[in-house]
Amino acid sequence: MTMAYRPAREEDLEIADALVVSTINDLTERHGFGSMAALSPPKFQLFSLKDDPDGLWVAEEDERVLGFAWSWVCGDIWFLAQLFVSPDQQGRSIGNELIKRTLAHAEKSGASNRVLITFSFNTVSQSLYIRHRLLPRFPIYSVYVPREQLISRLRGRQFDVTPLEEDTLTLRRLVRADERVFGVSREKHHRYLIKDNKTKGFNLYDGSRWLGYAYVDGSGHIGPLAVMESRVVATAFRTALQLAAESGSSQISAFLPGVNQPALDVAFEHGMRIKFPMLLMSLRQFGNWIQYLPRNPGFM
């Protein structure tokens, strides 16, 4: 049978997620990091499919999904959230064909920058992206700490917090923070997160001054987090660590840009360790990464 490349459908998403999880675990196990990914409902993929179906593609042969690509757009940023090919099918140029289709999505969107986050030890993927002019910019570290160890060390100034709500004032503030950090609005993604019953979002205040936002999910993972001023990121991250500890999860985690010295300092002061390294790649430099902590490699 001939390989077919077609737009993804809703019924493909769970199958594609299983492919992504198995491919990630094959990669991380081969590089000595052990199994890292686990199956989860593909809620953000489904949100993206409904928002912009041109961004999701599958490679299929004999009714078997062998590859999956997913990208989303916000303003001037096109972001490649996932591009994975089944381990037993690599070397058949499936990745090349999928990236052609995702880059066509980028062209259609009119976004001037193209961005992704990949494993820093995945040299095959990096070579593919570099051929398409996406260059390595800086590392992003997945860090973690057992909750009990964090609680024993958690000290220092924190901000006041209130829950995020989907009201006009809150959304206006969230948009303003993202525009300050990246130059684009991510209002649609905030609406998605605020409605996610496994994630809690918080306003960060210094007295009556609104300084930014932070999200924490039920697994104790922090992100995204953004602040209006780089000088407050350490206190903001410390506040998020407290919120994550209150989630009750046995482990607290976050993704920290390698250029964000204040956040890295707080992380290691509180006993966090690097679980694995990732790499941000883009067509051009962008963003103030001292004011932002990503959620995960698919959300940014």
Question: Exposed (0-12), middle (13-18) or buried (19+): which is 154, by Cβ within 10 Å?
Answer: middle
% of the chain exceeding 90 in pLDDT: 93
Residue-wise pLDDT for 244-258, tens only, equals: 999 999 999 999 999
**Which CATH class name applies to 4-111?**
alpha beta
Burial of 44 (0-12, 13-18, 19+ CB in 10 A): buried
Q: How far apart are CA 144 and CA 11, in angstroms?
A: 34
Q: Which residues of the chain are under the pLDDT cut of 70?
A: 1
Fold (topology level) of 142-277+284-293: Aminopeptidase (3.40.630)
* Residue type at position 87: P
What amino acid is encoded at 29 in this protein? E
Residue boundaries of the structural domains of the chain = 4-111, 142-277+284-293
How far apart CA 100 and CA 78 sit, in angstroms, is 14
pLDDT in tens, 249-285: 999 999 999 999 999 999 999 999 999 999 999 999 9
According to DSSP, residue 246 is labeled: H
Examine domains 4-111 and 142-277+284-293 and report if their fold is the same.
yes
The reported pTM is: 0.96
